């Protein structure tokens, strides 16, 4: 509010003066970027994209912004040539003026708009933010040129995205429920179809292949009471029955289920929330703000974090449909206690490995590199979904908590958390070793 | 007035006079409350603590019980109110009523009251009233109440004294004498209120739930005690926590003299069909007697609607009729999830009304789609009764819900962030309204009903729940009383006034413990007409009917004979009964015991034949789900086996048989031995190609060595190319030992349906036609069919291109036959298949096949044809044929003007084919797929149809652009009738088979003279279970026998003894070692059934 007021004041003053470079300072405000990605997050939530789909939208829109804005800053390096299938971006015209933050915002929103369903819902936001850009005092030609260039980049990114096999994957066969009790089954209350059984066929961004970081084999299935599998299920069951308030708070805080079904009488309706990836995107915003990162560095952070999410999901989903492990809820109801209900609603895809464990650790690894170890922060991103903020001493601590939260929540056995963590860290480290943004 | 007033009409002679108000032109005339004095209204008030979200049956409404409580010859009316006082209206004659509730003391206490029934519980000749309610729940203290009639228009509540003051989640009670000890016992129907979070194991039904479990109370009146004891456990009544009981009917469903029980249960729990074991216990046998039931079953009725003296069952559900409501409502589970939920132990259920036709052998088939009564929206009370006195029971269905909780847009709305902070009551208030008209259907005989809601004048939108029919003004026709939510009850006067619509009413005087004669049965014989009713007042929903039966008789002026069978088993017979009278029957005159076997003859033609196999055979289908690849296909095409072949392959003079295996399961060849038993042989050779799903087979001499070789073709819609779908020739070494000759057939990868052998080019060897059935991943696209020419030594070459000029893709062929149609001694071809016309290919002298379908007048026969059988059915010397189609027992209604249409193309450019199928509903054509099904397959449409409301009005015109249509493959279906095609020399004339042949998709037809009259009859079997769940399983058939008259007319022989439940696939005649004809019948995923003719 205040900032806007100041902006307006400055604007009215500035418009009187002749040579106007003030707008550059005003337009180079990372809030434009943060707000744009938050808008995309809100639409992802609204349209109920599954966690892997959401990570794909984050990656393309963040890269669009990054690739655009760095053209105004030679300290950054393009990811073209570093990401699979991404060719050199179209160059801006030389010797003319651009507002690259505007172009980047335009590119991000255009890509985001194309990838979500409810594009109309973005209109109000888009018009508002563009009005703010104009009100920086930016000359009309710069404005128009930047918008045009942002669109060009967006087209390039969308063209790139169109070849990642996503479209084809829409017609791949659905998951066939198998009678083998070891295999994943639909879970109450919605008994939804399995989410994205062919996500491993989506082109990876950085990692060599979906299977590059194939985790340790899951515990062999058994219903024998002396078996390791039974013991691990019993652990989930016992834990679920004896959760402390703190453990419950942890599980709920990291739930990040985009589509929780509620049943009341005849009525079955959903509660929508951010995905695990969305949670880390929000953390990234928080940290950029805390660290007073500028537009360009923020764009870099989003790009790298979203890549760690996207490849993390591809890697994790590859394993999920390789091992097809049955969820604790199904196993426990059949073999331990038919009335047991996990604290969190079981998401509709196989158990091993834990997606949240994988991507929290890949993201935290990247963020540690960007912002340092032992970076204490308060995560208030779940406040809008009714959860109090939580404090963390480091990104890795947050990732550890997200990891164990899945066991508390009763939706994963311990190995999926532990091995998922290893998988995620490896992906994060690999990304950092491969990508060069400076 | 045209009725000839009989002597018995003394009681109401003055009332019958025609001095009533002017008639409307509709059968029913809604009487205003100001005239009737009936101002009852079931007024509901919801609040934060009690509303549709807190109590899921908040809008189920109240009931109606009718009966003459003061024995003045006029039927009185009792209404139950959920929250306010119940009301008793005394019939003062002339359709005037007086509210005597207060004086009578029958207002009934309680927080929430539900169903109501009248019965003379204490056998004093006066009707008592039993009121159910909800107690012991959410602080409610309601108990069920029994109002004992004092005989002076006052009642005393005595439930606790009688031991029936149950306080729980009661729906309704039905009084009946289950143990035939003479007194009236009570079945108490209760309902669960659990939220349906998870599909717990179905066996939870056997746990005990003190509030929601159903109960059976035995009356001790026969021991001189005025009390009931709970006999639920000993009688085998399910009293578990998952019974969402909404309807009960106590009726002798199997006509063995002992009353049975039908319970309709909402949600996931199966309905229950309890068969009385005649020893004080019941056995729940629904799963073995029905093919499926309604899913959200509400009320039910049991009555003989087709006048075959067999009780049929109707249950109602909530399938909407209006397309906009269908599209706006939550649909069925996906096929995979449906299948998965079955694993919890539940039975097949579909969310629509089920009209279960009694087959007479203890089994029922749902024919609701065929009869036109499957979809009546949010329905509560079905009542089968003859409203127009034409001798056929019509069907009334009450309908409407104050708020539709299953509206997709609503569920979408409450899933938004802002909505989740709203209170229950606010949320409930946002549910869309479901105020709709009740339905009434006129029975048109021939298993068909016609919607006459408007014609008969009951078309007011309302929230109607319990309802009762009864003759309020004693004029011989049935009036209707309907309990409405938030609106005055409807009292519809039946204005029937037609000299050709005679009637007979019957009043019963039972024995001392059951003075009103509950359970008495009446059979009327009049000419060829047979009519049947049972005095069984509790019917429909929350309601009970009158104690006098009304039979409509049409133009019958004298009844030949009438039999009354009392619950005790004694009966009396009347002959030459005058019509239009009230006949009083007294058990005192019934002296001899009735033999129920005399009602129905036993099997007339067939008896089972014991097929002695050395290895038990059961067909195993592989678990391949077509819908997982192609979500918009209407039905799967991968379960069309097994087909068989019969022949003496080891040349021992005895017929042997081959049966094809599904993918992963070897085919089998059984040799008949001299003692008539069968040995499995050649197992190793069939193991080598067991990956193939064998869909067609034929024995023929391929190599001219005078033994039978075998060709099999493969399909299954799974494999796109490769050995899995290559036809194979198995060469016989003369001793019945087979080996595959890999070089015999050219490499032609095709998902095929059939191989048909014939020497079409008259060169002395046998050639082959191979029918192409399907292209995997591209449903709708026609695969190639083939002509393979024999070189005389059993080596075949593909000459399709030469012989089918320009006609390589003939359609999705399911079956084919060679025959010379035009008498030029050259064999022609008839092809049948899916989305294609019956296709005639005439062979030219140059051995080229030319499509002459139109010339033979078959151009407009596009259907879902599965099979054909060729024979000279009308004995005129040429060959006719019968073709098995989809049948008309389906939601998809097609004709030439209103076809089923399909556009197939890669609409979203992702390399796979999608199908847009449109169907006509109430005169307009809409896409068949739900919005969710559609966007799942074509995600780009999500942007176009962001909300459900965007999709509601989409029609065949708007679902695709002209351009999209233009570049699509386009196919139609215009007939689903299985049909007899009569050869008229140069064209075929279509004769639709009788309705009994239309209740299921026919997959196999076997002509033969079955009754020895020298005329060809035929057997037919079928069913298809693997369909989109919102179409439901096609399981309306159990095998049929059609008897021919040698002139091309066929008549169903319902009690033939040929009974084939399951997915029938093939019928072959095999001669056993005694040269008897054995009718081998194969079924998908089941054993082979065999029948032989009864000795004549």
pLDDT number for residue B10: 36
Q: The domain spanning residue A421 has which CATH number?
A: 1.10.606.20
Tell which residue, A31, A2, A341, has the closest CA to residue A189: A341
DSSP B346: P
Q: Looking at the structure, tell me whether residues A389 and A246 fall in a common domain.
A: yes
Least confident of A357-366, B48-57, B157-166, B223-232: B48-57
Radius of gyration, alpha carbons of chain B: 31
pLDDT number for residue A265: 66
Mean pLDDT of B835-844: 97
- The sheet carrying B656-659 orders its strands as B644-647, B656-659, B668-672, B678-681
Report d(CA B1075, CA B654) in Å as an integer.
9
Report d(CA B311, CA B256) in Å as an integer.
12
- Euclidean distance between the first and the last CA atom of chain B, given in angstroms as a whole number: 55
- Cβ atoms of residues A49 and A275 within 8 Å: yes
- Cβ atoms of residues B566 and B506 within 8 Å: no
Tell which residue, B55, B115, B53, B1045, has the closest CA to residue B537: B115
Q: Which of A139, A166, A193 is the last residue of a domain?
A: A166
Q: Which of A121, A144, A166 is the last residue of a domain?
A: A166
pLDDT tens per residue across span A92-146: 999 999 999 999 999 999 999 999 999 999 999 999 999 999 999 999 999 999 9
Q: Looking at the structure, tell me whether residues A209 and A267 fall in a common domain.
A: yes
Domain membership of residue A58 as a residue range: 22-166
- Interface probe for A, chosen from B943, B951, B1028 (most Cβ of A below 10 Å), is B943
φ, ψ for residue B421, nearest 5 deg: -95, 0
Contacts A272 to B, Cβ<8 Å: 415-417
Out of B339, B420, B939, name the one closest to residue A170 (CB): B939
Contacts A167 to B, Cβ<8 Å: 908-910
Least confident of B185-199, B448-462, B546-560: B185-199
Hey, how many other C-beta atoms are within 10 angstroms of the C-beta on B48?
12
Q: Looking at the structure, tell me whether residues A105 and A212 fall in a common domain.
A: no
pLDDT number for residue B195: 65
User: Do the domain assignments include residue A116?
Assistant: yes
Report d(CA B127, CA B72) in Å as an integer.
12
Q: Looking at the structure, tell me whether residues A162 and A183 fall in a common domain.
A: no
Distance from CA of B476 to the nearest CA of A (A): 42
Out of A117, A179, A265, name the one closest to residue B53 (CB): A265
Largest CA distance in chain A: 82
Q: Which two tokens stand for residue A170?
A: 């829409």
Cis check for the bond before A353: say yes or no (omega within 30 of 0).
yes
pLDDT number for residue A319: 98
Between chain A and chain B, how many beta carbons pairs sit less than 8 Å apart?
102
Q: Is B589 helix (H, G, I), strand (E, B) or coil?
A: helix
Report d(CA B662, CA B657) in Å as an integer.
17
The confidence band for B430, taking pLDDT boundaries of 50, 70 and 90, is confident
Q: Do B196 and A171 touch (CB under 8 A)?
A: no
In chain A, the residue whose alpha carbon lies closest to the alpha carbon of B266 is A266
Judge whether residue A14 has pLDDT over 60.
no
Q: Looking at the structure, tell me whether residues A162 and A217 fall in a common domain.
A: no
Q: Is B418 helix (H, G, I), strand (E, B) or coil?
A: helix
Judge whether residue B696 has pLDDT over 90.
yes
Q: How many domains does the structure of chain A reveal?
A: 2
Hey, how many other C-beta atoms are within 10 angstroms of the C-beta on B853?
20
The confidence band for B53, taking pLDDT boundaries of 50, 70 and 90, is confident
Mean pLDDT of B8-22: 39
pTM of whole model > 0.95? no
Distance from CA of B330 to the nearest CA of A (A): 10
Q: Looking at the structure, tell me whether residues A282 and A400 fall in a common domain.
A: yes
In chain B, the residue whose alpha carbon lies closest to the alpha carbon of A47 is B946
Q: Looking at the structure, tell me whether residues A373 and A424 fall in a common domain.
A: yes
**pLDDT: which is higher, B104 or A12:** B104
CA atoms B959, B960, B961, B965: torsion sign: negative
DSSP lists the bridge partners of residue B980 as B882, B991
Q: Looking at the structure, tell me whether residues A151 and A183 fall in a common domain.
A: no
Which H/E stretch holds residue B884? Answer: strand B880-884
A184 touches chain B (CB under 8 A): no
Task: Give the DSSP letter string of B700-733.
Answer: E-SSSSSS-EEEEEEE-S--SSSGGG--EEEEE-
Q: Do B908 and A270 touch (CB under 8 A)?
A: no
Hey, how many other C-beta atoms are within 10 angstroms of the C-beta on A383?
10
Q: Which of A166, A187, A211 is the last residue of a domain?
A: A166
ipTM, two decimals: 0.87
- The angle formed by the CA atoms of residues B315, B355 and B365, to the nearest 5 degrees, is 120
Q: The domain spanning residue A118 has which CATH number?
A: 1.20.144
pLDDT tens per residue across span B250-274: 999 999 999 999 999 999 999 999 9
User: Do the domain assignments include residue A292?
Assistant: yes
Out of A170, A191, A338, name the one closest to residue B341 (CB): A191
Q: Do B628 and A175 touch (CB under 8 A)?
A: yes
Least confident of B190-204, B461-475, B860-874: B190-204
The residue ranges of DSSP E strands in B269-339, in sequence order, are 272-276, 282-284, 293-294, 300-303, 312-315
Q: Do A266 and B406 touch (CB under 8 A)?
A: yes
Q: Is B334 helix (H, G, I), strand (E, B) or coil?
A: coil
Q: Do A267 and B414 touch (CB under 8 A)?
A: yes
Question: Percentage of residues in chain A with pLDDT exceeding 90?
Answer: 86
Report d(CA A425, CA A417) in Å as an integer.
12
Cβ-Cβ contacts under 8 Å for B736 (sequence gap 6 or more): B649, B650, B651, B656, B671, B681, B682
- Interface probe for B, chosen from A57, A172, A265 (most Cβ of B below 10 Å), is A265
Q: Do B336 and A176 touch (CB under 8 A)?
A: yes
Least confident of A371-380, B420-429, B753-762: B420-429
User: Do the domain assignments include residue A15?
Assistant: no
DSSP B282: E
pLDDT tens per residue across span B988-1039: 999 999 999 999 999 999 999 999 999 999 999 999 999 999 999 999 999 9
Q: Which two tokens stand for residue B859?
A: 């151009």
pLDDT tens per residue across span A337-386: 988 999 999 999 999 999 999 999 999 999 999 999 999 999 998 898 88
DSSP B53: T
Q: Which two tokens stand for residue B39?
A: 């101002």
Q: Do A171 and B946 touch (CB under 8 A)?
A: no
Q: Do B415 and A176 touch (CB under 8 A)?
A: no
Contacts B628 to A, Cβ<8 Å: 173-176
User: Do the domain assignments include residue A356?
Assistant: yes
Q: Is B904 helix (H, G, I), strand (E, B) or coil?
A: strand
Judge whether residue B200 has pLDDT over 80.
no
User: Do the domain assignments include residue A349?
Assistant: yes
A131 touches chain B (CB under 8 A): no
CA atoms B880, B884, B886, B888: torsion sign: positive
- Cβ atoms of residues B242 and B260 within 8 Å: no
Contacts B333 to A, Cβ<8 Å: 191
Give how far the C-alpha of residue A78 lies from the chain's centroid of Cα atoms, to the nearest Å.
21
- Interface probe for A, chosen from B54, B194, B198 (most Cβ of A below 10 Å), is B198
Q: Give the residue carrying structure tokens 């961004």.
A: A205
Tell which residue, A305, A86, A82, has the closest CA to residue A206: A82
pLDDT number for residue B198: 64
Cβ-Cβ contacts under 8 Å for B1031 (sequence gap 6 or more): B634, B635, B890, B891, B892
pLDDT tens per residue across span B293-350: 999 999 999 999 999 999 999 999 999 999 999 999 988 889 999 999 999 999 999 9
Q: Looking at the structure, tell me whether residues A215 and A347 fall in a common domain.
A: yes
Q: Which two tokens stand for residue B243?
A: 């019974």
- Cβ atoms of residues B945 and B1013 within 8 Å: no
Tell which residue, B197, B190, B299, has the closest CA to residue B240: B190
A120 touches chain B (CB under 8 A): yes
pLDDT number for residue B197: 63
Distance from CA of A420 to the nearest CA of B (A): 29
Contacts B198 to A, Cβ<8 Å: 188-189, 333, 341
Tell which residue, B1011, B1027, B1006, B983, has the closest CA to residue B1079: B1006
Least confident of A5-14, B383-392, B488-497: A5-14
Mean pLDDT of B722-751: 97
Q: What average pLDDT is seen over chain A?
A: 93
The confidence band for B431, taking pLDDT boundaries of 50, 70 and 90, is confident
User: Do the domain assignments include residue A231?
Assistant: yes
The confidence band for A5, taking pLDDT boundaries of 50, 70 and 90, is very low
Q: Is B204 helix (H, G, I), strand (E, B) or coil?
A: helix
CA atoms A202, A420, A258, A124: torsion sign: negative
Q: Looking at the structure, tell me whether residues A241 and A378 fall in a common domain.
A: yes
DSSP B208: -
DSSP B492: E
Out of A119, A188, A269, name the one closest to residue B414 (CB): A269
Judge whether residue B805 has pLDDT over 80.
no
Mean pLDDT of B795-807: 90
User: Do the domain assignments include residue A275?
Assistant: yes
Contacts B411 to A, Cβ<8 Å: 267-270
Report d(CA A78, CA B193) in Å as an integer.
61
Mean pLDDT of B655-678: 97
Report d(CA A175, CA A194) in Å as an integer.
6
What is the length of chain A? 438
SS3 string, chain A, reads CHHHHHHHHHHHHHCCCCCCCHHHHHHCCHHHHHHHHHHHHHHHHHHCCCHHHHHHHHHHHHHHHHHHHHHHCCCCCCCCCCCCCCCCCCCCCCCCCCCHHHHHHHHHHHHHHHHCCCHHHHHHHHHHHHHHHHCCCCCHHHHHHHHHHHHHHHHHHHHHHCCCCHHHHCCCCCCCCCCCCCECCCCCCCCCCCCCCCHHHCCCCCCCCCCCCCCCCCCCCCCCCCCHHHHHHHHHHHHHHCCCHHHHHHHHHCCCCCCEEEEECCEEEEECCCCHHHHHHHHHHHHHHHCCCCHHHHHHHHHHHHHHHHHHHHHHHHHHHHHCECCHHHHHHHHCCCCCCCCCCCCCCCCCCCHHHHHHHHHHHHHHHHHCCCCCEEECCCHHHCCCCEEECCHHHHHHHHHHHHHHCCCCCHHHHHHHHHHHHHHHHHHHHHCCCC
pLDDT number for residue A52: 98
pLDDT tens per residue across span A221-240: 999 999 999 999 999 999 99
- Cβ atoms of residues B78 and B84 within 8 Å: no
pLDDT number for residue B410: 85
Q: What average pLDDT is seen over chain B?
A: 94
User: Do the domain assignments include residue A43?
Assistant: yes
Q: Looking at the structure, tell me whether residues A204 and A320 fall in a common domain.
A: yes
Q: Looking at the structure, tell me whether residues A183 and A131 fall in a common domain.
A: no
Q: Do A117 and B942 touch (CB under 8 A)?
A: yes
A376 touches chain B (CB under 8 A): no
């Amino acid at each position: 509010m205040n900032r806007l007021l100041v902006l307006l004041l400055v604007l009215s003053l500035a418009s009187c003066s002749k040579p106007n470079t003030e707008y550059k300072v005003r337009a180079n405000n990372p809030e434009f970027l943060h707000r744009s990605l938050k808008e995309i997050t809100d639409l992802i939530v609204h349209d109920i994209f599954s966690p892997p789909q959401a990570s794909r939208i984050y990656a393309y829109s963040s890269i669009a912004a990054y690739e655009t804005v760095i053209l105004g800053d030679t300290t950054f390096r393009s990811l073209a040539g570093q990401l699979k299938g991404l060719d050199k971006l179209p160059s801006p015209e030389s010797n003319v003026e651009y507002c690259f933050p505007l172009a980047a915002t335009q590119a991000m929103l255009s890509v985001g708009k194309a990838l979500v369903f409810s594009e109309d819902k973005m209109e109000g936001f888009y018009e508002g933010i563009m009005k703010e850009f104009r009100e920086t005092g930016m000359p009309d030609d710069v404005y128009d040129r930047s918008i045009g260039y942002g669109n060009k980049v967006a087209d390039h990114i969308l063209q790139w995205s169109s070849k990642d096999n996503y479209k084809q994957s829409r017609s791949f066969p659905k998951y066939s429920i198998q009678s083998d009790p070891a295999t994943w089954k639909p879970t109450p209350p919605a008994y939804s179809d399995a989410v994205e059984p062919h996500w491993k066929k989506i082109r990876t961004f950085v990692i060599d292949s979906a299977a590059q970081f194939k985790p340790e084999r899951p515990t062999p299935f058994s219903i024998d009471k002396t078996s390791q599998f039974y013991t691990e299920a019993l652990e989930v069951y016992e834990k679920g029955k004896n959760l402390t308030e703190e453990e419950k708070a942890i599980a709920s805080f990291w739930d990040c289920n985009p589509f929780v079904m509620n049943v009341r009488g005849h009525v079955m309706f959903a509660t929508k929330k951010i995905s695990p990836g969305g949670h880390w995107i929000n953390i990234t915003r928080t940290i950029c703000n805390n660290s007073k990162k500028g537009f360009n560095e923020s764009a870099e952070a989003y790009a790298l974090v979203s890549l760690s999410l996207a490849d993390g999901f591809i890697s994790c989903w590859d394993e999920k449909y390789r091992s097809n492990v049955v969820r604790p809820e199904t196993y426990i109801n059949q073999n331990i206690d038919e009335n047991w209900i996990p604290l969190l609603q079981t998401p509709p895809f196989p158990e091993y490995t834990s997606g949240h464990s994988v991507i929290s650790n890949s993201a935290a690894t990247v963020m540690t590199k960007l912002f340092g170890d032992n970076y204490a922060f308060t995560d208030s991103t779940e406040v809008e979904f009714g959860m109090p903020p939580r404090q963390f001493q480091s990104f890795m601590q947050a990732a550890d908590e997200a990891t164990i939260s899945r066991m508390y929540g009763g939706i994963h056995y311990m190995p999926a958390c532990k091995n998922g963590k290893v998988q995620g860290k490896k992906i994060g480290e690999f990304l950092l070793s491969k990508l060069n943004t400076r | 007035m045209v009725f000839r007033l009989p002597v018995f009409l003394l009681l109401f002679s003055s009332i019958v006079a025609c001095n009533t108000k002017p008639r409307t032109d509709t059968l029913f005339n809604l009487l205003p409350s100001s005239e009737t004095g009936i101002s009852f209204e079931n007024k509901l008030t919801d609040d934060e603590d009690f509303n549709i979200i807190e109590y899921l049956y908040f809008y189920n409404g109240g009931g109606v019980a009718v009966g003459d409580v003061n024995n003045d010859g006029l039927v009185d009316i009792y209404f139950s109110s959920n929250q306010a006082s119940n009301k008793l209206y005394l019939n003062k004659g002339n359709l005037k009523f007086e509210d005597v509730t207060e004086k009578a003391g029958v207002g009934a206490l309680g927080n929430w009251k539900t169903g109501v029934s009248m019965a003379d519980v204490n056998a004093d000749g006066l009707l008592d009233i039993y009121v159910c309610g909800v107690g012991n729940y959410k602080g409610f203290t309601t108990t069920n109440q029994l109002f004992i009639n004092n005989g002076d228009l006052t009642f005393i509540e005595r439930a606790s004294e009688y031991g029936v003051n149950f306080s729980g989640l009661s729906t309704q009670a039905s009084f009946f004498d289950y143990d035939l000890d003479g007194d009236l016992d009570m079945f108490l129907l209760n309902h669960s209120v659990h939220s349906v979070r998870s599909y717990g194991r179905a066996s939870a039904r056997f746990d005990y739930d003190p509030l929601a479990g159903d109960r059976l109370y035995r009356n001790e009146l026969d021991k001189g005690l005025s009390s009931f004891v709970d006999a639920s456990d000993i009688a085998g009544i399910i009293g578990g926590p998952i019974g969402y009981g909404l309807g009960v009917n106590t009726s002798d469903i199997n006509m063995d003299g002992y009353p049975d029980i039908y319970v309709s249960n909402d949600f996931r729990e199966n309905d229950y069909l309890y068969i009385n074991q005649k020893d004080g216990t019941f056995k729940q046998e629904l799963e073995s007697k029905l093919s499926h039931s309604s899913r959200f079953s509400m009320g039910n009725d049991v009555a003989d609607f087709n006048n075959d003296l067999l009780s049929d069952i109707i249950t109602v559900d909530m399938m909407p009729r209006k397309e906009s409501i269908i599209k706006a409502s939550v649909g069925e589970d996906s096929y995979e999830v449906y299948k998965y939920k079955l694993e919890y132990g539940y039975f097949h259920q579909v969310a629509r009304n089920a009209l279960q036709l009694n087959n007479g052998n203890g089994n029922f088939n749902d024919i609701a789609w065929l009869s036109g009564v499957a979809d009546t929206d949010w329905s509560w009370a079905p009542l089968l009764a003859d409203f127009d006195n034409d001798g056929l029971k019509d069907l009334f269905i009450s309908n409407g819900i104050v708020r539709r909780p299953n509206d997709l847009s609503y569920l979408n709305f409450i899933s938004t962030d802002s909505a989740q902070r709203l209170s229950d009551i606010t949320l409930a208030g946002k549910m869309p309204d479901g105020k709709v008209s009740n339905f009434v259907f006129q029975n048109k005989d021939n298993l068909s009903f016609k919607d006459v809601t408007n014609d008969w004048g009951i078309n007011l939108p309302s929230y109607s729940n319990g309802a009762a029919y009864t003759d309020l003004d004693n004029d011989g026709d049935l009036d209707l009383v309907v309990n409405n939510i938030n609106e005055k009850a409807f009292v519809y006067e039946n204005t029937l006034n037609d000299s050709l619509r005679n009637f007979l009413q019957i009043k019963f005087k039972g024995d001392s413990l059951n003075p009103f004669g509950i359970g008495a049965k009446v059979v009327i014989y009049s000419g060829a007409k047979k009519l049947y009713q049972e005095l069984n007042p509790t019917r429909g929903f929350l309601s009970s009917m009158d104690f006098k039966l009304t039979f409509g008789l049409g133009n019958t002026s004298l009844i030949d004979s009438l039999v009354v069978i009392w619950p005790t088993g004694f009966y009396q017979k009347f002959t030459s009964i005058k019509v239009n009278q009230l006949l009083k029957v007294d058990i005192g005159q019934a002296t001899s015991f009735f033999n129920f076997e005399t009602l129905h003859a036993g099997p007339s033609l067939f008896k089972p034949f014991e097929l002695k196999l050395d290895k038990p055979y059961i067909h195993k289908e592989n678990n391949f789900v077509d819908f997982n690849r192609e979500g918009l296909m209407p039905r799967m095409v991968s379960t069309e086996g097994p087909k068989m072949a019969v022949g003496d392959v080891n040349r021992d003079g005895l017929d042997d048989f081959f049966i094809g295996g599904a993918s992963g399961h070897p085919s089998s060849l059984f040799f008949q031995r001299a003692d008539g038993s069968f040995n499995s042989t050649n197992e190793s050779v069939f193991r080598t190609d067991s990956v193939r799903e064998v869909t067609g087979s034929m024995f023929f001499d391929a190599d001219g060595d005078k033994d039978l070789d075998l060709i099999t073709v493969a399909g299954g819609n799974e494999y796109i190319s490769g050995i899995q779908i290559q036809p194979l020739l198995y060469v016989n070494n003369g001793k019945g030992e087979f080996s595959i000759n890999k070089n015999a057939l050219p490499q032609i990868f095709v998902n095929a349906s059939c191989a048909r052998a014939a020497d079409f080019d008259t060169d002395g060897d046998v050639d082959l036609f191979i029918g192409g059935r399907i292209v995997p991943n591209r449903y709708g696209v026609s695969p190639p069919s083939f002509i393979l020419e024999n070189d005389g030594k059993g080596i075949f070459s593909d000459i399709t291109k030469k012989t089918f000029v320009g006609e390589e893709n003939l359609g999705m062929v399911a079956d084919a036959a060679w025959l010379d149609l035009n008498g030029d001694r050259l064999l022609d071809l008839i092809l049948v298949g899916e989305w294609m016309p019956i296709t005639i290919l005439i062979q030219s002298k140059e051995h080229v096949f030319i499509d002459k379908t139109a010339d033979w007048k078959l151009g407009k026969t596009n259907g879902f044809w599965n099979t054909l059988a060729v024979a000279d059915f009308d004995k005129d010397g040429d060959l006719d044929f019968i073709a098995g189609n989809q049948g008309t027992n389906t939601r998809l209604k097609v004709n030439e003007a209103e076809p089923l249409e399909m556009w197939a193309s890669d609409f979203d450019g992702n390399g796979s084919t999608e199908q847009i199928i449109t169907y006509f509903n109430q005169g307009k054509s809409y896409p068949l797929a739900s919005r969710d099904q559609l966007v799942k397959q074509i995600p780009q449409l999500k942007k176009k149809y962001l909300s459900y409301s965007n999709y509601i009005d989409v029609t065949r015109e708007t679902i695709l652009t002209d351009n999209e249509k233009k570049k699509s493959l386009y196919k139609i279906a215009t007939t689903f009738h299985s049909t007899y095609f009569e050869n008229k020399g140069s064209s075929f004339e279509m004769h639709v088979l009788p309705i009994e042949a239309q209740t299921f998709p026919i997959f196999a037809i076997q002509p033969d003279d079955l009754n020895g009259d020298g005329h060809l009859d035929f057997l037919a079997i079928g069913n298809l279970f693997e369909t989109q769940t919102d179409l439901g399983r096609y399981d309306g058939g159990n095998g049929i026998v059609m008897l021919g008259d040698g002139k091309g007319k066929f008549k169903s022989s319902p009690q033939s003894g040929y009974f084939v439940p399951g997915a029938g696939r093939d019928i072959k005649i095999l001669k056993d070692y005694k040269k008897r004809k054995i009718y081998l019948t194969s079924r998908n995923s089941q054993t082979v059934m065999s029948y032989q003719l009864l000795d004549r």
